[in-house]
Structure 1
Amino acid sequence: MSKNICMLLLVLFVPIITKAQQTPAPKQSKSILILNGTAHLGNGKIIENSAIGFIDGKITLVADATLIRLAKDAFETTIDASGKHVYPGFIAPNSTLGLVEIDAVKSSDDEEEIGSINPHVKSIIAYTADSKVIETVRPNGVLIAQITPRGGRISGTSSIVQLDAWNWKDALIKENDGIHLNFPSSFKRTGSWFEPGTIEANKDYSKQASEITSFLSSAKAYSGNIAKERNLIFEATLGLFDGTETLYIHANEEKQIIDAVQLAKENSVKRMVIVGGYEAYKTAALLQKNNIGVLLKRVHDMPENDDQDIDLPYKNAKLLTDKGVLVGLENSGGHERMNTRNLPFLAGTCAAYGLDKEQALQLITFNTAKILGIDKQCGTLEEGKDATLFISQGDALDMRTNKLTNAFIQGRMISLETHQSQLNNRYKEKYNQN
């Protein structure tokens, strides 16, 4: 694309960006009590007539309002949620939110670094907290995201943020939570999506896997000795061997997953997570034995092979859950940033294909928080955790009834307005529509 066209795109987008820019909410100053709503705690439990209170950004009360003597005057603000539903904020893992603004404008694309082995590249440095895409996902309840780099064999290091902040430092929930490894595929497809070719074996698979083994082995050796010279690339991997960081292995095939887990174990990697995991149900025993969670690839997709069950993508979460594997949902792929808003509906589809609604809710709340290592801070409605939650008029996993009335991040009531809602209101007013 020519430089002139890129500049034209920027000019066209500037008026929208300027007009609809949202200011992050101020720190919670008054205690808040949400009464009479149906609270979905995110851990499989429901309180039909609930009392959820929070002060200074932390949840201080989670109770059945009918079973306690509640002094309403103990809270400065009361919200009546009668007939509505209260949920913990949804979590979007393996996301490039805030790393790309306009795909066609290279200067706004920071998702991928040059080179193949980049564990020292930190995605959080490039995160744009006031991205216009971010404000479009909050009205569907997505309030937390894992900002993840792309590309290469080792893409870099991800961090976890809340989605209402002035800058990346304000947004941080957990910095440098893990390193992302794209494990080589054992086969490759020829042709294109519109004219598929044959499936061929990857002749370089063994060589590519050996290169990963060699790197992890050298990194492990570096972690166990005092090096004469500092190596920033190896230094970035130290958390993998002491358990403070997670190795996120991006793999979908059965062979990929088995080989990747074995390779990581042989090199003393403490914590692993499979990202994608399309055929993880075939390796469930291995994953369950080694306490390895799966961030399952986009549910709204077609089967990868012609001989597979047409409903396999929808059933995958049920298959893994039944075999004792901890499962979360991720949404990488085409148009992934704008499609982040659909995360709750992926969980809803999993509920339609075998899981009950509360199990499906866990896929984007507690399970994902546990996989990312932030479950002590968020992911469920429990006393002592961050008051990151929202109120919906109906079932938040159903696109027909997911209509937020209030949302809070760490106790701060955030705006649910977007440039899209502004345009909607503008033209409704123009044509006198309600």
Structure 2
Amino acid sequence: MKYLFFNIILLFGLISNAQQTPAKSQTEKVIIQGATLHLGNGKVLENTNLAFENGLITSIGNESDLPTGNIINAAGKHVYPGFIVPNSTLGLGEIDAVKATIDQQEIGDEVPNVRSLIAYNAESQVVEASRLNGILLAQITPQGGTISGTSSIVQLDAWNWEDAAVKIDDGTHLNWPTLFKSKNVSFGLRVYSEVNKDYSKEISEIKELFLQVKGYDLKSNNSRNLGFESLQPLFTGEKKLYIHADLEQEIIDAIKFSEDLNIKDIIIVGGSESHKVIELLKSTKTPVLVKRVHSLPNSEDDDYDMFYKLPAFLMQNNILVGLEVSGQMDRMNSRNLPFYAGHTTAYGISEEQALQMITQNTAKVLGIDDKYGTLEVGKSATLFISEGNALDMRTNQLTDAFIDGRKIILKSHQTELYERYRDKYAK
């Protein structure tokens, strides 16, 4: 009985702190005046106007004949495209200690037909908190097993997963076999303990599975194989293959595997030792979603600042680079994405290049750059206004944010607590 009582209290607690009502569609033109525009493609426009209508950016510049509308005076402020967090479990879990709120992993080792999108909780308080730092889009990604399932891309102001969906089933996630068996020690640090003697066997099993998928024909089979059908778009380029691999040999083997099977579009996720295979990445034009830069070295031979400077090294070698946040407490740490990007500016990247990694570059990797990732006429008005540098936690203070032109509410459980105790101690 006491457990039932606890669950009822928890349920009402979650309901009472549900996310704010999603914004309604844009009804009037909005003109942001006099701001510094960070376009997301490496360019900056000072003291410039930006206008959008019906959810789309209609003009950028100081045209004297701009029509009247809702004018926002943003003099001295900064405008950015909405930040995009890839490979995230945002909305797939809420309270780690309450199993019923966690839905990021399905039972089974190979579950390619599992769709993370339908498990997405649009009213997650973690999602709500991420928006306050400019995270307006996310790739919702399943975890676990060898083939975790299919990710989708969502915008972070919605009633439900149907409303949130931006790109449905964008790619399949394959956790590449590891050369070494490892274990978690603390703070996300993994220690490699012994050689994985089954490494080659595990690769062969994956290859055999994909060969079966290539040969699968629904018409000639008595029963449907939903897993095979989910993987077949990888061979036509309709779906991307995200291969989670870290070590040098693992990345080499993963790319060779894709070439042998003629898989059209792959992305390396993690890529801790991607700096060791630069020529291969360049020749195959393989993008890398670099693991959280606030990570400890993988081995005693690595530089202590390896993850800090890895994005700069890859970008300097013309690799398409985005930043991802997987690791310990990745849902909660999704909101720190802009500050991870900001950290890289101390290691050979300009602020605008760092911005590209969480806007334009990630949009290209995810295949949504036709609408999102940069401030351009004709693209979605998914953007925000900040008091200062959005890559610096001291000055990233959002005053306004818009998703597809809809002005969203910038409040969360944390801001409510802040206001509550600010008022208490101000007396």
**CA 1:198 to 1:176, structure 2 compared with 1: closer, same or farther past 3 Å?**
closer
Which aligned pairs between 1:394-413 and structure 2 lie closer than 5 A? 394-413=388-407
Per the TM alignment, residue 15 of structure 1 is displaced from its structure 2 partner at its CA by 3.1
Give the TM-score, by structure 1 length: 0.94
* Contact map agreement 1:17 1:132 (CA 8 A) in 2: no
Residue 315 of structure 1: aligned partner: 309
Is 1:259 the equivalent of 2:292? no
> Secondary structure of the equivalent of 1:362?
helix
The farther-off stretch of 314-323 and 15-24 is 15-24
- The answer (yes or no) to whether the contact 1:36–1:51 under 8 Å persists in 2 is yes
Paired residue for 2:48?
A: 50
Q: Distance in 1 between matches of 2:398 and 2:71?
A: 17
Distance in 2 (CA, whole Å) between partners of 1:315 and 1:225 is 51
The 5 A counterparts of 1:132-147 are: 132-147=125-140
**Alignment match, 2:111:** 118
Give, in angstroms, the shift of residue 9 of structure 1: 6.7
Kindly indicate whether residue 172 of structure 2 is the aligned counterpart of residue 174 of structure 1. Answer: no
Q: Counterpart of 2:38?
A: 40
CA distance in 2, matches of 1:358, 1:396: 11
Q: Kindly indicate whether residue 353 of structure 2 is the aligned counterpart of residue 359 of structure 1.
A: yes
- Going from structure 1 to structure 2, the CA distance change for 1:22 and 1:269 (only over 3 Å counts) comes to same
Tell whether the 8 Å contact from 2:17 to 2:125 is kept in structure 1 after alignment. no
Structure-1 separation of matches of 2:329 and 2:4: 19
Of the three residues 73, 83, 91, the one matched with 1:80 is 73
Which whole-Å CA distance do the structure 1 matches of 2:17 and 2:345 have between them? 39
Q: Which position in structure 2 is the counterpart of 1:27?
A: 25
The structural deviation recorded for 1:14 is 3.4
Q: Could you tell me how far apart the structure 1 residues matched to 2:151 and 2:2 are?
A: 34
AA aligned to 1:281 is H
What residue identity is the alignment partner of 1:101?
Answer: E
Aligned letter for 2:393? M
CA root-mean-square deviation: 1.9
Q: How does 1:171-250 map to 2 (within 5 A)?
A: 171-189=164-182, 192-193=185-186, 199-222=193-216, 227-250=221-244
Q: Deviations over 1:97-123 (max 9, x none)?
A: 111111111111110001111110000
- Other structure's SS at 1:36 match: strand
Tell me if the contact between 1:298 and 1:331 (Cα under 8 Å) persists in the aligned partners: yes
Contact 2:291 2:324 in 1 (8 A): yes
Identity %: 52
Q: Distance in 1 between matches of 2:376 and 2:114?
A: 35
Cα distance in 2 between the residues matched to 1:300 and 1:10: 38
Q: Could you tell which deviates more after superposition, 326-335 or 183-192?
A: 183-192
Shift of 1:230: 2.2
Distance in 2 (CA, whole Å) between partners of 1:222 and 1:153 is: 20
Task: Provide the aligned length of Structure 1 versus Structure 2.
Answer: 426
> For structure 1, which segment, 103-112 or 387-396, has the greater mean C-alpha deviation from structure 2 after superposition?
103-112
Instruction: Compute the displacement of 1:229 (Å).
Output: 3.5
Q: Take 1:113 and 1:155, find their aligned partners in 2: how far apart are those partners? A: 8
For each residue in 1:136-164, what CA deviation from the matched residue of structure 2 results, as whole angstroms up to 9, or x when unmatched?
00010000000000011000000000000
Q: Which one-letter code corresponds to 1:32 in the other structure?
A: V
CA distance in 2: counterparts of 1:20 and 1:114, whole angstroms: 28
Which segment is superposed worse, 357-366 or 332-341? 332-341
Q: How far did 1:267 drift? A: 0.8
Tell whether the 8 Å contact from 2:190 to 2:298 is kept in structure 1 after alignment. no
Name stretches of at least 5 consecutive residues in structure 2 with no aligned partner.
Answer: none
Q: Flag the 1:360–1:6 CA change in 2: closer, same or farther, 3 A.
A: farther
Tell whether 2:90 aligns with 1:94: no
Where structure 1 has 5 or more consecutive residues not aligned to the other structure, the ranges are: none
Deviates more, 1:5-14 or 1:176-185: 5-14
State the secondary structure of the residue aligned to 2:385: strand
Of 368, 372, 376, 2:370 maps to 376
TM-score, length-normalised on structure 2? 0.96
Q: Distance in 2 between matches of 1:385 and 1:295?
A: 24
Distance in 2 of aligned mates of 1:185 and 1:318: 26
Q: Who is 2:276 aligned against? A: 282
Structure 1 range deviating more: 16-25 or 391-400: 16-25
Tell whether the 8 Å contact from 2:78 to 2:389 is kept in structure 1 after alignment. Answer: yes
Q: Tell me the distance in 2 between the aligned counterparts of 1:76 and 1:191.
A: 55
Q: What residue number does 1:300 align with?
A: 294
Counterpart AA for 1:25: A
Paired residue for 1:426?
420
